[in-house]
Each structure stands twice: as C-alpha cells, then as structure tokens.
Amino acid sequence: QKEVEQDPGPLSVPEGAIVSLNCTYSNSAFQYFMWYRQYSRKGPELLMYTYSSGNKEDGRFTAQVDKSSKYISLFIRDSQPSDSATYLCAGSSGGYQKVTFGIGTKLQVIP
C-alpha cells in the first residue's frame, strides 16, 4: 500500500464547474500537506501548503485536511481551461521535509 493514495482519473469537467480532488494517506506522522499542480513536461508547482487539520483558502482554491480520517481534499471553484493539469497531493512529517506524493489526478476542464 502506498503512503498516499490518489485516484489517477482522468477527470473531465465543464468550464465553471466546482472540482473536488481527494487523497487518503496512511502515515500518521504526516503534519504538513501540499497540493502541487503539474503541467505537461513541467515541474510540480506548489498550490497549497497546510499544517495539520483544517481549511485553507487561496483565491479559487480551498484545501482541506482531516487528520482523524487521514483525508486530504482540494476544491477548485469556477474551474477554467487553464486549470487542466495533473494535481499531486503530498504529505510530510516535517523535519527535513521528505515529501511523499500521490500518483496525481489528471484534470481536464472543457471550454
């Protein structure tokens, strides 16, 4: 079993839809949780960075962490074609921040 599980998709939604991306993790030591966006042939770009449980909002993006159920979510409001990318969830126990990634969910927003 991988430490971070994520549905690879692909997920196709119409422009303007609310997108929900989810991951589960098994490592109880994880304290920091991240969402990265990766466009084709580019490196991962940090979208959201949260500590412990709770919500964090940044523009159209909201990240949620529920440590009791080991569940991580990313919501994208008013999705745009430019949001089409692979979204990687990740966790870390801190320290020197070795990050463990999920497989990534491929999202396509259709105009």
User: What are the residues whose beta carbons fall under 8 Å from the beta carbon of 41, sequence distance 6 or more?
Assistant: none
- Is residue 32 near other proteins by the rule CB under 8 A? yes
Q: Scanning the structure block, which residue is given the tokens 């770009």?
A: 45
Identify the residue among 19, 21, 25, 44 touching other proteins (CB under 8 A).
44
- Is residue 96 near other proteins by the rule CB under 8 A? yes
Q: Cis link prior to 10 (omega < 30° from 0)?
A: yes
Contact 21, 104 (CB under 8 A): no
- Is residue 65 near other proteins by the rule CB under 8 A? no
Closer to other proteins at the Cβ: 18 or 46? 46
Q: How far apart are CA 76 and CA 43, in angstroms?
A: 20
Identify the residue among 21, 91, 104, 109 touching other proteins (CB under 8 A).
104
Identify the residue among 1, 14, 28, 43 touching other proteins (CB under 8 A).
43
Helices and strands, counts by H and E, the chain: 0, 11
- In whole angstroms, the minimum distance from the beta carbon of 44 to other proteins comes to 5
Size of interface with other proteins, in residues (CB under 8 A): 27
DSSP code for 15: T
List contacts with other proteins (CB under 8 A).
Answer: 4, 6, 8, 32, 34, 36, 41-46, 49, 51, 88, 90, 94-104
